[in-house]
């Protein structure tokens, strides 16, 4: 995640000086996570790569107005969402896109024996719990955990109420928490 003061500086460099290096820096910092987010909507890596390129094209064409955007981090996710949905609607010729169709891959949950003091077996349960979360819930969890968005930002991005975000986060934590505490009870019995 780009620290806010640095992001602010980079945006000013783009807006005031057309600085291509600052532009590239933002591209490199956001590219992977935006492709990932877009992919949860389009379901295709290729489409998402194109969407993200369009997002940055837009960022460049509107660069003079960038400093006026209050929350760039949220803003770039919103453009990505809109362009991704447009793309799905074009391709599938459907009228609406539902969050329940999101395909979300949580990239930050993996077995790292260095950082996670859990057994491979417990990890399997954790992974099952992650995969078992409903798509919308998983998407919200991912946006908060991996993309560093606040609850209210996720609410705005997805057009949901703050209460829904809170509830979905509670469900996610409960499911994951239960998957890792199950082992304890078993161990305690042994």
> Which residues would be at the binding site for other proteins (CB under 8 A)?
17-21, 24, 27-28, 31-33, 35, 49, 52-54, 56-57, 60-61, 107-110, 112, 114-118, 126, 144-146, 150-151, 166, 169-174, 176-178, 180-181, 184
Whole-angstrom distance between the N-terminal and C-terminal Cα of the chain?
43
Angle at 33 between CA 167 and CA 148, to 5 degrees: 45
The distance of closest approach from Cβ of residue 8 to other proteins in the complex, given in angstroms and rounded to an integer, is: 18
Chain centroid to Cα 91, Å, comes to: 22
- We find the least distance from the C-beta atom of residue 30 to other proteins, in angstroms, to be 9
**Chain Cα centroid distance, residue 125:** 23
CB of 159 to other proteins, least distance (A): 19
Q: What's the min distance (Å) between Cβ of 123 and other proteins?
A: 10
Whose Cβ is closer to other proteins: residue 27's or residue 75's? 27
In the complex, minimum distance from the CB of residue 20 to other proteins, in angstroms, rounded to a whole number: 6
If the CB atoms of residues 90 and 94 are measured against other proteins, the closer one turns out to be 90
* Between 102 and 130, CB nearer to other proteins: 130
Nearer to other proteins, 85 or 171 (CB): 171
User: In this complex, which beta carbon is closest to other proteins, that of residue 97 or of residue 126?
Assistant: 126
DSSP annotation of 62: T
Directed axis angle between helix 72-92 and helix 151-158, to 10°? 30
- Reference 80, options 39, 120, 43, 130; nearest CA is 39
Nearer to other proteins, 4 or 32 (CB): 32
DSSP-derived 3-state class of residue 16:
helix
Rg (CA), the chain: 19
- Residue 101 has what DSSP assignment? G
What is the rounded CA–CA span in Å between residue 85 and residue 146?
21
The CB-of-52 to other proteins minimum distance in angstroms stands at 8
Distance CA 51, CA 54 (A): 5
């Amino acid at each position: 995640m780009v620290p806010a003061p640095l992001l602010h500086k980079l945006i000013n460099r783009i807006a005031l000086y057309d600085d291509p290096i600052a532009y590239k820096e933002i591209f490199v910092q956001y590219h992977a996570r935006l492709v990932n987010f877009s992919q949860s909507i389009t379901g295709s890596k290729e489409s998402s790569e194109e969407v993200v390129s369009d997002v940055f094209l837009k960022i460049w064409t509107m660069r003079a107005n960038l400093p006026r955007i209050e929350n760039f981090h949220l803003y770039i996710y919103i453009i990505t969402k809109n362009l991704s949905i447009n793309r799905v609607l074009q391709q599938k010729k459907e009228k609406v896109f539902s969050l329940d169709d999101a395909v979300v891959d949580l990239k930050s949950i993996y077995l790292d024996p260095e950082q996670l003091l859990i057994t491979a077996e417990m990890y399997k349960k954790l992974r099952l719990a992650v995969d078992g979360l409903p798509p919308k819930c998983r998407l919200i969890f991912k946006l908060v955990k991996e993309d560093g968005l606040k609850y209210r930002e996720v609410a705005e991005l997805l057009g949901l109420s703050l209460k829904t975000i809170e509830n979905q986060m509670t469900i996610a934590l409960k499911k994951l928490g239960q998957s890792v505490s199950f082992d304890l009870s078993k161990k305690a019995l042994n």
